[in-house]
């Protein structure tokens, strides 16, 4: 539900997908850029008539352009930002889920808007959720619950500081402290006490989070946010084999969620419920990634083989029934024997 984040606390290790290696194939896509199409931004109708954003000499305008310079120089390789030439109060960012978390290799989009009195108040932030709640801090309606943007209670040092806080710090906090290894414990009351009970709860939450992350991937391929269409397709075209390898390891129970390139040391690695759901979702993921142009021959072949070897739920469902009619049928029905031969 919430998370308290210190205004001085952020992570700039980049994260990255898979095993933490450099993210392939997206170097040509600038981490920071100015674009023109703002038509699908969540906050498009906000601040429309605020003159402070068009007046280059206003304090708000100068502060936002300063934020642009910070983002242009210091974004890690796993965060990409687009700002808008006609609406400097709007910003869109995508964060790549880090290795070692149930969000690894996923793309998570956030629409951000600066208020007219920025930086006195923090930016407004909306998570593009597709209706999924993948984290205690990221609601299905797009609300982001975070002390740094004053949407959750916290100590004074954990809240927005107009003199020190920045959008870069906000993005790094979401990446490192919200989309983390054990998001179950972001929820107030879920204390990370030692013991199997809490770890089991956390592992179950990670399973659900990973499944929802996979569903988000498929919807992003189908409906990518504007100005990121080519990025989304290219990213999943390059990362699909890594993601599918992880899914295969998870559904086979050979790896722990977030660590598909490591042998699972505990038993069981995943619940039977998760394995069943992952098995159902896997062909859908293969189909979605195939639409990006990814070379997935082996994965497609595995799905096709699975379909061919699938057996009927029961022999009775597969076997055609022989109807007995006429006088014989009536006689058998009278004697109560018809069901035995039908």
Q: Which residues are catalytic?
A: 145
Q: Which candidate, 32, 77, 216, places its Cα nearest to that of 142? A: 216
- Residue 160's Cα: distance from chain center in Å? 25
Residue 203 CB partners (closer than 8 Å, separation 6+): 256, 257, 271
Q: Which candidate, 279, 253, 247, places its Cα nearest to that of 265? A: 253
Strand 32-35 vs strand 79-84: parallel, antiparallel, or unpaired? Answer: parallel
**Other beta carbons less than 10 A from residue 43's beta carbon:** 21
Q: Are 66 and 74 in contact (CB under 8 A)?
A: no
**Other beta carbons less than 10 A from residue 107's beta carbon:** 25
Measured N-to-C along each axis, helices 272-290 and 297-309 cross at an angle, to the nearest 10 degrees, of 130
Q: Are 323 and 342 in contact (CB under 8 A)?
A: yes
Question: E strands within the chain?
Answer: 32-35, 79-84, 90-96, 107-113, 124-127
Query: What tokens appear for 248 in the block?
Result: 């295969």
Strands of the sheet containing 107-113, edge to edge, are 32-35, 79-84, 90-96, 107-113, 124-127
- Residue 246's Cα: distance from chain center in Å? 15
Query: What tokens appear for 164 in the block?
Result: 């020190």
Q: Which candidate, 143, 5, 29, 128, places its Cα nearest to that of 78? A: 29
Q: Which candidate, 81, 77, 82, 112, places its Cα nearest to that of 98? A: 77
Bond before 86 cis per omega within 30 degrees = no
């Amino acid at each position: 539900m919430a998370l308290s984040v210190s205004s001085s606390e952020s992570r700039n290790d980049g994260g990255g997908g898979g095993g933490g290696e450099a993210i392939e194939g997206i170097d040509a896509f600038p981490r920071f850029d100015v674009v023109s199409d703002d038509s699908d931004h969540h906050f498009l109708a906000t601040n429309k008539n605020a003159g402070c954003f068009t007046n280059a000499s206003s304090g708000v305008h100068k502060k936002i352009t300063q934020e642009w310079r910070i983002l242009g120089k210091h974004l890690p390789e796993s965060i990409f930002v687009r700002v808008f030439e006609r609406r400097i109060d709007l910003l869109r960012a995508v964060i790549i889920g880090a290795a070692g978390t149930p969000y690894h290799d996923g793309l998570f989009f956030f629409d951000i808007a600066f208020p007219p009195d920025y930086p006195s108040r923090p930016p407004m932030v909306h998570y593009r959720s597709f209706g999924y709640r993948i984290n205690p801090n990221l609601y299905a309606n797009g609300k982001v619950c975070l002390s740094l943007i004053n949407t959750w209670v916290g100590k004074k040092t954990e809240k927005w500081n107009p003199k020190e806080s920045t959008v870069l710090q906000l993005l790094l906090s979401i990446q490192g402290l919200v989309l983390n290894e054990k998001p179950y414990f972001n929820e107030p009351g879920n204390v990370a006490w030692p013991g199997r009970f809490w770890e089991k709860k956390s592992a179950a939450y990670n399973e659900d989070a990973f499944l929802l992350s996979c569903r988000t991937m498929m919807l992003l391929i189908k409906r990518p946010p504007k100005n990121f269409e080519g990025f989304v397709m290219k990213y999943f075209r390059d990362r699909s084999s890594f993601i599918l390898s992880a899914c295969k390891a998870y559904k086979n129970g050979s790896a722990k969620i977030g660590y598909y390139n490591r042998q699972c040391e505990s038993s069981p690695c995943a619940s039977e419920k998760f394995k069943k759901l992952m098995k159902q979702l896997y062909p859908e993921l293969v189909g979605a990634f195939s639409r990006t142009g990814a070379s997935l021959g082996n994965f497609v072949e595995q799905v096709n083989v699975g379909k061919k070897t699938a057996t009927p739920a029961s022999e009775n469902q597969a076997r055609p029934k022989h109807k007995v009619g006429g006088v014989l049928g009536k006689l058998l029905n009278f004697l109560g024997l018809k069901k035995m031969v039908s």
